[in-house]
Chains A and B, each alone.
Chain A
Amino acid sequence: MLATLAFWAFSGVLIASAFMVVIARNPVRSVLFLILAFFSAAGLFVLLGAEFLAMLLIVVYVGAVAVLFLFVVMMLDVNFTELKQGFLSYLPLGAIVALILAGELVMIAMTWQTSPQAEALRAAATPEGMSNLEALGLILYNDYIYFFQTSGLVLLVAMIGAIVLTLRHKSGVKRQSVTAQVGRRREEAIEMLDIKPGQGIGE
């Protein structure tokens, strides 16, 4: 019964906060509601027994990605109420698109059939005798190791691409040399002078 209660609580909060992401006037609040939505989704994962995925969702999405969102949105100085003026004139077009999408969803839902083989393929989130961390690790690093490494390479290429795009070598710029800064000794930096009162260090 507790699990059912928790399920309704998490999914209720999830849907409500997802809705608030769309209708909140302030973009920072939108991002915060998005974070709440991630959090509730993580709760649902825990209820399913996929605790590793839940933690991953929090570490990756809430702990890192959403922080970047928040960063960007906070730095933006855009008047969103002004941007949203005349928004209602798009209502008929939006309604038509939404109706078409909803109709398609209903059509899919009506003709959906589960194959008998799919039922057999379905795996429990926590297989017998091991935690789902071990289960995921075994599958990911034994069966799909090449895919895993390829995706890593793709990310590496993206990273190098970003660096190449933004790296500019300008001539005539004074650059910071960390080794020179760290390697500085007291003798090079400080000179002790005995200054007579009222004379200063004049030439």
Chain B
Amino acid sequence: MADFITQFGIWGGLGMAVLQILGFTIVLLIALAFLLLMDRKVWAAVQMRKGPNVVGAFGLLQSFADFFKFVFKEIVIPAGVDRPLYILAPLLTLVLAFATWAVVPVAPGWVISDLNVGLLYLFAMSSLGVYGIIIGGWASNSKFPFLAALRSAAQMVSYEVSIGFVIVTVLLFAGSMNLTVIVEAQSGGFWNWNVLAGRALFEDGWPMFLVMIPMTVIFFISALAETNRPPFDLAEAESELVAGYQTEYSSTPYLLFMIGEYLNIVLMCAMTTILFFGGWNSPIELDTTAWPYLASHLWYFFWFAIKVVFFFFMFAMVKALVPRYRYDQLMRLGWKIFLPTSLAAVALVGAYIVFGAQG
């Protein structure tokens, strides 16, 4: 935004920034509509059903139909709820989910705010997501939502710890918290992506992929837990808690919760892409310096998008295939397995940076 202000003056700069954010938001929402459809189609395919196929060709417009259905329904606010907080909770979820996207670079230079502490910002904002759930569960003034809020808060706080340590290993490799720098540090071919850590192997002879592949798996599983996705959807386990913290919500507030949740899921896919799979880098590096601006950037954006969609597909497959965890198993996995493993990985990567890396 600072460049805009120097270029267009204060109000012009603000206007440009707002336009940019608006464009990003709209693209994100439309992409989300189709990702939602893809989600449902994948489950349907796993269960040998057809999935939504009535609205539009192949059901392509299903999400839009759902959207209008939600928006035009009456907002029912149950008696006895804490009204301001009841309304605030879904808004908070949605706003935080969007705010997180501000630092995600989708192509070289295509990022709303290129923060120095971008990674920490992502981490902070995704850790705030828990408030939407806690406030929503409490303000509903009902037992099941409250139990769900407590469960999900404990779950998200636990898995944040291991996500934090996994993030530390990545930022040690890049030497920066700036997401653009992290992506650029992985350029040059798929073997340089953090998941394989090829530079460490080829240049320094340290087989760091032995550490980073497990870290990628841990990050992916923690991302599932952090977004309350199956098999960790204990916050909305329908056989135990009706619909969890969303039980008392209907129509538009429920829609806001749902959009926020899916935005967080896509964000976690984007984070996996950026942190471990080279972000916008193509698997085999092509020289794009001679290409026109738009062509080269769309080329990079294509690779970013395809990786995000792949990880979204993985999220959908996990939901379709894996049965739900028990709560004590979930806590054991987070605290007794992921936390020590990721701590050890931080030590190993630190050792590599100090003793192995050249320069």
In the complex, which residues 101-132 of chain B have their Cβ closer than 8 Å to any Cβ of chain A?
115-117, 120-121, 123-124, 127-128, 130-131
Q: Does B138 contact A (CB under 8 A)?
A: yes
Whether A71 contacts B332 by the Cβ 8 Å rule is: no
A51 to B, closest residue via Cβ: B117
Would you give the shortest CB distance from A151 to chain B, in whole angstroms?
18
Considering the chains assembled together, what is the distance between the CA atoms of A28 and B81 in angstroms?
14
Whether A59 contacts B117 by the Cβ 8 Å rule is: no
The majority secondary structure among interface residues of chain B is helix
Q: Which of the residues B116, B120, B328 comes within 8 Å of A59, measured between beta carbons?
A: B120
In the complex, which residues 22-70 of chain A have their Cβ closer than 8 Å to any Cβ of chain B?
26, 28-29, 32, 35, 51-52, 55-56, 58-59, 62-64, 67, 70
Considering the chains assembled together, what is the distance between the CA atoms of A67 and B124 in angstroms?
13
Q: Which of the residues B82, B153, B160 comes within 8 Å of A71, measured between beta carbons?
A: B153
Would you give the shortest CB distance from B266 to chain A, in whole angstroms?
21
23 A-B contact pairs sorted by A residue (CB < 8 Å): A1-B10, A2-B14, A28-B85, A32-B135, A35-B131, A51-B117, A55-B117, A56-B120, A59-B123, A63-B127, A63-B128, A63-B130, A63-B160, A64-B157, A67-B130, A67-B131, A67-B134, A67-B157, A71-B150, A71-B153, A74-B138, A74-B149, A133-B177
Whether B177 contacts A70 by the Cβ 8 Å rule is: no
B138 to A, closest residue via Cβ: A74
Whether A58 contacts B10 by the Cβ 8 Å rule is: no
10 tightest CB-CB pairs across the interface, nearest first?
A: A63-B127, A55-B120, A58-B124, A131-B116, A59-B124, A51-B117, A55-B117, A55-B124, A74-B138, A52-B117
Considering the chains assembled together, what is the distance between the CA atoms of A28 and B138 in angstroms?
9
Residues of B close to A64: CB separation below 8 A: 127, 157, 160
Residues of B close to A83: CB separation below 8 A: none
Whether A2 contacts B10 by the Cβ 8 Å rule is: yes
A181 to B, closest residue via Cβ: B329
Given contacts A63-B160, A67-B134, A70-B134, whether A52 and B150 have CB atoms under 8 Å apart is: no
Chain A, interface residues (CB within 8 Å), range: 20 to 34
Residues of A close to B153: CB separation below 8 A: 67, 70-71
Considering the chains assembled together, what is the distance between the CA atoms of A62 and B177 in angstroms?
20
The majority secondary structure among interface residues of chain A is helix
Would you give the shortest CB distance from A26 to chain B, in whole angstroms?
8
Q: Which of the residues A2, A32, A63, A176 comes within 8 Å of B124, measured between beta carbons?
A: A63
Would you give the shortest CB distance from A43 to chain B, in whole angstroms?
13
B120 to A, closest residue via Cβ: A55
Would you give the shortest CB distance from A162 to chain B, in whole angstroms?
15
In the complex, which residues 130-189 of chain B have their Cβ closer than 8 Å to any Cβ of chain A?
130-131, 134-135, 138, 146, 149-150, 153, 157, 160, 177
Considering the chains assembled together, what is the distance between the CA atoms of A50 and B289 in angstroms?
36
Would you give the shortest CB distance from A61 to chain B, in whole angstroms?
10
Residues of A close to B160: CB separation below 8 A: 63-64
Q: Does A178 contact B (CB under 8 A)?
A: yes
Given contacts A2-B10, A64-B160, A74-B134, 4 further A-B contacts (CB under 8 A): A55-B117, A59-B124, A74-B138, A133-B117
Considering the chains assembled together, what is the distance between the CA atoms of A122 and B199 in angstroms?
41
Would you give the shortest CB distance from A39 to chain B, in whole angstroms?
9
Residues of A close to B135: CB separation below 8 A: 32
